[in-house]
Amino acid sequence: MSKGSLPGPAGDVRSGRAQADAPGGRLAHRRWRAAPSGGTARSGSAYRLPPALPGLTWLVVVGAVVVAPWAGIGGYWTRQIVLIAIMSSVVSGLNIVFGYAGELAVGQAALYAVGAYVAGYMSVKLGVTDIFLCLAAAIAAVIVVGLISGLPGLRLGGWALAMVTFYLVLLIPDFVNLLPAQTGGAGGLAGIPNPTIFGAQLTGNGLYAVIILVTAAWFILFRNVVKSPYGDRFLVLRQSPVLMSTLGVSVFRIKLLAYVIGAIPAGIAGVFFAFYSTFISPDSFTFTLAITIFAATVIGGSRSIYGAILGAALLIVIPGEFASFNEYATVIFGGFLVLAGVLFTGGLADVARLIGRRLLPGRGNRPEAVAATMSDQALALPAEIPGRELRVESLSKSFGGLRALRDVSLSAAPGSVTAIIGPNGSGKTTLLNVICGYYAPTHGTVRLGDEVLSGRPPHSIARAGVARTFQTPIVPTGMSTQALVATGRTVLSRAGLTQTALRLPRFRKARSADESVVTGLLRALGIDHLAAVDVASLPLGTRRLTETARVLAAAPALCLFDEVASGVDGEDLARLVRVIEGMTRAGATVVLVEHNFPLVLEIADTIHVLSNGELVATGTPSEIAANPRVLQEYVGVAPGAGDDAQPE
Amino acid sequence: MTTVWSGLALGSLYALVALGYNIVLIASGVFNFAYAQLLMLGVYFTYTAEVVLKSPLVGVVVFSAALVAVVAVLEERLAIRPIADRLGSHGTLITTVGVAALINGVVVLGWGTQPLTVPLAIDNKPLTIFGGTVEASDLLLILLVPLAAIGIHFWNTRTLSGLASLAPAEDREAAMVCGINVRRVAIISFAISGVIAGAAGLLIGPQTYADPNLAQNLALLGFVAVAIGGSGHQLGGVVGGFVTGLAYSFAAQYLNATLADIFVFLGFLLVLLTRPHGILGRVAERHV
Amino acid sequence: MRRVQVTMLSLSEICASYGDLRVLSGVSVTVRDGRVTTVIGRNGAGKTSLLNVAIGLPPTLNSGRVTLADSDVSRAQPYARAAAGLALVQEHKRIFRLRSVEENLLLGGYVRRRRFRSSRREMQPRLERAYQRFPELRDFRTTQAGRLSGGQQQMLAIARALMSEPSVLMLDEPSAGLSPALQKRVFGLIAELRSEGLAILLVEQVIEPALALADDVVVLDNGRVAASGPVSEFQDRALVERIYLEGDPSVSGAASKDTSWTVNHTTRHGDGD
């Protein structure tokens, strides 16, 4: 949870963004508490790229379902299956927005209604029955509605978004009443004709087949997006917007993207509903429906692909089977929601996975063997890293009455290690955050090469080539080491959403290029045997190595390491040192913000010392080590020591 | 002027919901989506006490307030506290929506789907004030809700325990270190919000009837009130409620009912876009 | 200052972790009346975790005991420990930024309120004492705490902790971000409190003044105690600096006739336990 997503009392004085978002913040510990233990990761892009088509099983199942009516399953079950298919689409949209991206945009019912009414209007009032046209129009309509209602809610996020989207559902009757001629008003729109495909009418089983096939196609696309770097990005977004902007993606834009993607299946489902039931009215789209959809997401498992189908099936079949169930329906749904929220957050899909893990003992690696083993082979880092010079000029930063940085000027050259050290409270973390764009400076500028960085948002700075690690490594749950390192490549991403969804050649090329880079980096850092392991189960030292690999994956112009040695020593530290040295040999600009004096003395080329927000010394390690003022500020050895702290 | 009065009467309902939202938000940092359902429950309990049990006035209020308070505390203990730490607003959305649905379902099971008339406890002749007519019970509500908000506000700012109930939402750990029992603060805030919801049943019942569909509208428009006033600001929420009610009333009068709904929604969107911290948000910052 | 009970804080064999991540292993620290126990160590050594475990905040206590004045509080909630006389000045000057200075102080004294009918007025004498010790806060009593300077915020944090008249005071890097003059003031204040009989647990990163103030010293490294003992055993400042800065206390032939000084080698490998 992040405090920032709740509309709480006016925010912290420190920054425009919620304090919880600042890296190194105390809420960082919360991420550790949520970490599951051991086990293989469920992240989108696993060690091996899954094939685009989910395989023979799927084709068989879909095929069977399609031909079922002709095989004689009867009208009742045909109808049930259509409803399940339609509902699954709607629920899957909510899965993307709520489960993956973590946004509380829960008004799928409203978008569903939009799709239905567009189809109804076009076919009844305009006489357009071509199913592709109706689908296209509905998709366009829901995207527009989704954007309009999403934009204001996204600015606040959290509850505001939930409320705006719920509100939309309540307004459906009003919008319908506004244009009674077009929508049939409160009485509903009856007599929706059969849709046509390439001119031929689709009736009964034909319509059924089309619905099933389109739904199946949507799920394939859905799956392709989820099990790809895009899916990983959504995972990151949900758990750490800070990491997201560090990867060069505007949090705002990707949220909007998730919202739009989630709207599409709802629109499609609405079209099918309209054609299948031939009658729609505001009563078909109630608040209860909205809650039912929400319940289906939660119960099925909001982060699962097939959970959508499972949840939808449960919520359609069970009430259908037990007639008296309807009276208890809301109570049961409500109870389920509460239970699901309290007991298992991943819904039934997670329960299934848990059972699977118990039954199959081979899966799930306990981290005994995860201490990274020292690799004997020479460090095979990229031959060339395009480092550029960092220049900080007269930088000042104040938070209310707190002057965290006063007129600090320093620089870091490519091919060298520059350390910024100072005691806690000296402002070095603030300096790091200003460079990365989490805070705008009060005065002064930050330049990278000839680009000005200061004043730009964090994702823009990341795109300029700045990559960083965090004092507490940010490791989202549910991701493998390989996937996390691969997210570093987001900044260089060449494959768009469409290419990803359709698994077009450009996506495959980009994917294999990424894979080889990532594998190479993992091997270079000696952690390639951990590639498929859930990164949240790794010990601290290995997490830092993973983060370092993530930084390297971005081929960065500037590498910022935030207290990379903290809590780490022995072999892990030696390895980190080797990596850093290798990086500088390859031309990277490495900046270490550090507290660890001897490490800095050992590997830095230039050291800048901060104290109380001011730069008090700059020089080579030997100069700094001999500087009495540094020792005093840093370690507290006062000249003429002893008197100051005596009582009386 | 009658439009003004009806706007204020409507607004007092929204202000009441905002009040309930804010009490819990300020004390525990949790947004209780199911508060409107608690209000609805209060109306139903009031109905039962008056019509079925035929209790005297005081008995009705006590009965209703106590029962809703119990439900509210149960909600906090079972559906909110277990997950608020782990999952934050993501989780509490799920569970409070779940509780809302639960209460809705229980109400239908217990009292049926037909709206029930809640008898008036006081003589409700329409009064003419400032050239507009308003019913006595509405007037009472219009006066009492701001009074309650002011009372709570003073409690928060003037008393030690009130101050202590503000701290957890700002910094839960620091509050714990100061010796504040944050769990108890959360429970008490839920209980108080429940008491208010239950006691209010007597006043809002006559206006709204005991109707299972009551809660949805209230829930959303109460949130609009909170958004306008700035979340976490008691006085702001009340003002926001009245503003919303008035806006609705005037829009319904001069446009029509359908457009009024949409008008309020658009206004809501506008506020979120332009002043995300609420119109009064910044000003009221120091006073809560 | 009136103290009602014999006071001592004892943390014994503390093992604590955040989920899977072990942050403290077998740490034991004792804090006595009228004495300052100083804990030093690099970032990531577990100093803050130690204080958090003492007050009852995360990390989770896996094993070990926290004893406050002869009663085992390992399972007690933070508010109960505060009521029993344990106060913590958290790092990063954690005050309530949206509240005024005076409100912050009142919240600090909350734990000493009257059982029934507590009021702000009853806190007045306590407030007065706080303003006497920290005169600069009086001038800012109605100012929103977030608007104070860093030094003032730190003073406020300490003043707030003292409002509860604790028997054990824990401070987490109170000198961080302060000018040398203010640091001196803080350490002087701690010495004063010690002479008033308070038991003090001080976590610091600036070695020299912290050691000058200390009666007992504990050096933490990677979640374990690397060295501990009375400050007299730590006279060799160069040794201490080496332990602190280099973090590998392969100290040989140290003056270890006194058995209270224990030096442990820290080994580092994926602690999968």
pLDDT in tens, A536-559: 778 777 888 889 899 988 888 899
C8 confidence band (pLDDT: 50, 70, 90): confident
How many other CB atoms are found less than 10 A from the CB of residue A518?
Answer: 27
B160·C123 Cβ contact <8 A: yes
* Burial (CB count <10 Å: 0-12, 13-18, 19+), residue A70: exposed
Find out whether A546 and A481 touch, Cβ atoms under 8 Å: yes
Q: Is the pLDDT of residue C132 over 60?
A: yes
Q: What's the pLDDT score for residue A91?
A: 93
**Chains in contact with A via at least 3 Cβ–Cβ pairs below 8 Å:** B, C
More confident residue, C176 or A140: A140
B88·A336 Cβ contact <8 A: no
For residue C11, give the 3-state DSSP assignment. Answer: strand
More confident residue, A62 or B70: B70
Query: Measured between alpha carbons, how far is residue A89 from residues A86, A552, C66 in Å?
Result: 5, 39, 54
Number of structural domains (chain B) is: 1
C164·B166 Cβ contact <8 A: no
A425·C176 Cβ contact <8 A: yes
Domain edge (last residue) among C117, C146, C165? C165
Q: Is the pLDDT of residue A566 over 80?
A: no
* Burial (CB count <10 Å: 0-12, 13-18, 19+), residue A155: middle
Q: Amino acid letter at A269?
A: A
Nearest residue on chain A to B288, alpha-carbon basis: A9
Find out whether A597 and A589 touch, Cβ atoms under 8 Å: no
Model confidence over B222-261: pLDDT tens digits?
888 988 888 778 888 899 999 999 998 888 888 877 788 8
The interface predicted TM-score (ipTM) is 0.84
Q: What is the mean pLDDT of residues B85-105?
A: 81
Chain A residues whose beta carbon lies within 8 Å of the beta carbon of residue B268: 164, 167
Chain A residues whose beta carbon lies within 8 Å of the beta carbon of residue B94: 294, 298, 337-338, 340-341
Domain edge (last residue) among C117, C134, C165? C165
> What's the fold here for domain A390-635?
Rossmann fold (3.40.50)
Chain B residues with CB-CB distance to C under 8 A? Answer: 158-161, 163-164, 166-167, 170-171, 173-183, 285-286
B170·C164 Cβ contact <8 A: no
Find out whether A41 and A49 touch, Cβ atoms under 8 Å: no
More confident residue, B38 or C177: B38
3-class SS letters over A35-94: CCCCCECCCCCCCCCCCCCCCHHHHHHHHHHHHHHHHCCCHHHHHHHHHHHHHHHHHHHH
Number of structural domains (chain C) is: 2
Q: What is the mean pLDDT of residues A289-310?
A: 83
Q: What's the pLDDT score for residue A358?
A: 66
Nearest CB neighbour to C146, from listed A367, A370, A400:
A400
Q: Buried b / exposed e across B126-139, counting CB within 10 Å, b at 16+?
A: eeeeeeeebbebbb
Rounded Cα gap, residues C219 and B42, in angstroms: 60
More confident residue, C3 or A496: A496
Mean pLDDT of chain C, nearest integer: 81
B1 confidence band (pLDDT: 50, 70, 90): confident
Same domain? For C174 and C266 the reply is yes
Rounded Cα gap, residues B135 and B131, in angstroms: 13
Find out whether A450 and A217 touch, Cβ atoms under 8 Å: no
Model confidence over C65-86: pLDDT tens digits?
999 988 999 999 999 999 999 9
B175 confidence band (pLDDT: 50, 70, 90): very high
Model confidence over A24-54: pLDDT tens digits?
333 333 332 223 333 334 443 333 444 545 5
Q: What are the residue boundaries of the structural domains of chain A, listed by start?
A: 55-285, 390-635
Rounded Cα gap, residues A471 and A567, in angstroms: 10
Residue A63 tokens read as 């095929």
Nearest CB neighbour to B178, from listed C82, C97, C98:
C82
3-class SS letters over A295-346: HHHHHHCCCCCCHHHHHHHHHHHHHHHCCCHHHHHHHHHHHHHHHHHHCCCC
Q: What's the pLDDT score for residue B109?
A: 84
Same domain? For C141 and C179 the reply is no
Q: Which residue, among A129, A107, A108, has the nearest Cα to A118 in the 3D structure?
A: A129
A22 confidence band (pLDDT: 50, 70, 90): very low
Can you give the CATH number for the domain in which B273 is found?
1.10.3470
More confident residue, B90 or B9: B9
Model confidence over C179-211: pLDDT tens digits?
778 888 999 999 999 999 999 999 987 777 888
Q: Which residue, among A84, A100, A44, has the nearest Cα to A261 in the 3D structure?
A: A100
Chain B residues whose beta carbon lies within 8 Å of the beta carbon of residue C90: 173-174, 177
Same domain? For C268 and C197 the reply is yes
Same domain? For C174 and C273 the reply is yes
Rounded Cα gap, residues C192 and A160, in angstroms: 51
- In-domain check, residue C30: yes
Domain that holds residue B231: 2-287
Can you tell me which residue has the tokens 């399940």?
A84
Q: Amino acid letter at A479?
A: M
Chain B: closest CA distance from residue A49 (Å): 31
Chain A residues whose beta carbon lies within 8 Å of the beta carbon of residue B85: 1
Cβ within 8 Å of B, C 132-191: 144, 160, 164
Chain C residues whose beta carbon lies within 8 Å of the beta carbon of residue B177: 55, 57, 78, 82, 87-88, 90
Find out whether C77 and C56 touch, Cβ atoms under 8 Å: yes
Chain A residues whose beta carbon lies within 8 Å of the beta carbon of residue B227: 7, 160, 163
Q: Which residue, among C118, C246, B86, has the nearest Cα to A600 in the 3D structure?
A: C246
Nearest residue on chain A to C191, alpha-carbon basis: A647
- In-domain check, residue C90: no
Q: What's the pLDDT score for residue B204?
A: 83
Same domain? For C76 and C103 the reply is no
Can you tell me which residue has the tokens 């971005």?
A554
C57·B164 Cβ contact <8 A: no
Model confidence over B185-220: pLDDT tens digits?
999 999 999 999 999 888 888 777 777 777 888 888
3-state percent breakdown (helix, strand, coil) of chain B, nearest 5 = 80, 5, 15
Nearest CB neighbour to B273, from listed A106, A155, A158:
A155
Domain edge (last residue) among C131, C150, C165? C165
Q: Is the pLDDT of residue A362 over 80?
A: no
Same domain? For C180 and C140 the reply is no
Q: Which residue, among A645, A349, A484, has the nearest Cα to A46 in the 3D structure?
A: A484
Beta pairing partners, C171: C89, C202
Chain A residues whose beta carbon lies within 8 Å of the beta carbon of residue B106: 331
Inter-axis angle of helices A287-300 and A108-120, nearest 10: 120
Chains A, C: CB pairs < 8 Å: 157
Same domain? For C103 and C224 the reply is no
For residue C218, give the 3-state DSSP assignment. Answer: strand
Domain that holds residue C242: 1-85+167-273
DSSP string, A187-226: G-B--PPPPEETTEE--HHHHHHHHHHHHHHHHHHHHHHH
Entry field: residues in chain C: 273
Same domain? For C150 and C62 the reply is no
